[in-house]
Amino acid sequence: VPAKYAIMFIAMQYNVTYTTDDNSEQFHFYDYGPKDIATIFFYMLVAINLHAVIQEYILDKINRRLHLSKTKHSKFNESGQLAFFYLFSFIWGASILNAVKLIMNPTSLWKDYPRSRMLFQVKFFYICQIAYWLHALPELYFQKIRKEDILRQLCYICLYIAHISGAYILNLQHLGLILMVPHYLVELIFHASRLFYFSDENKQKGFTIWALLFVMVRLLTLTLSVLAFGFGLARAENPGFSIADGNFNVLPVRIGCLGAVCLTQAWMMWKFINFQLKKWREHAKNQLPKKKITNTKSKRTKKEPNRG
């Protein structure tokens, strides 16, 4: 009896099948709707279980060997979990981009909008992305995150949920994909570099690579967003607003989406600049005692008499 309700939680809903004129080939696409909430809830529970498995069988064992402090222990767990997620999402997202050949045809970001029918892998990717970031909210309690870190993590979790859900609901799945994949690569490099740094503080080359790619991806995100919202969708053949057709190509929506992307990128750059300035100041403070020691040693060698 409950099978028809259980399948709503596990399988992708709103399947739409198209057949060719001679009925020799069928094409399966997917739409979205309120039943997706049940599917997202199920995969959110799956993400919570996977989070616990990675924490117990991988991260906790490494933590015992490294003997990290409480502050580093919390950051190590955060970076460890995110590194696994970013690696998996980057590989999966890149394979989808390769399958739909989106990189070779950037005009498909706005061509034939609204593209309300999704391939199975595109819909499943978005369902899993939203489920993962929703699972991160109860994990703030399960992982006993420190109070001073809760606001920071809550901020970027909500930004991920808002942007990914917005791309999914507004039928901007291809644009969201091509923006998420390079962003996830940069975040993967950062968290992997932080893991190596906790194991050996001399390993800091990864942060240099991350800093260069971070700025490049921010520029790429802004460029593609301006092209898509400012030029592509503005010149589309079917402008208008229709929830039934999934068409949200009107000026207020385009301005709102472009403004949200630009403000988010500006906020990220501001955080990035503050982070780099803080690191430079710490490096300068660490260099001052070393300079004083070298100066005192040089003065002592000058005052010593020549024993020759």
Alpha-carbon distance of 302 to 308, in angstroms, equals 14
Domain count, the chain: 1
In a domain, 306, yes or no: no
Alpha-carbon distance of 143 to 48, in angstroms, equals 11
Tokens of residue 162, six digits: 């808002």
- 15: domain range? 1-284
A 10 A CB-CB count for 69 gives 10
In a domain, 154, yes or no: yes
In a domain, 300, yes or no: no
In a domain, 289, yes or no: no
pTM of the full structure: 0.88
List the chain pLDDT tens, one digit each, 308 residues.
677 788 889 889 888 887 766 666 677 889 999 999 999 999 999 999 999 999 999 998 998 888 887 778 888 999 999 999 999 999 999 999 998 887 777 788 888 788 768 899 999 999 999 999 999 999 998 888 888 888 999 999 999 999 999 999 999 999 999 999 999 999 999 999 999 988 877 777 888 999 999 999 999 999 999 999 988 888 876 777 888 888 898 999 999 999 999 999 999 999 999 988 888 887 777 766 655 556 565 656 655 555 54
Alpha-carbon distance of 42 to 128, in angstroms, equals 10
Alpha-carbon distance of 294 to 13, in angstroms, equals 70
In a domain, 290, yes or no: no
- H helix or E strand, kind and range, residue 102: none
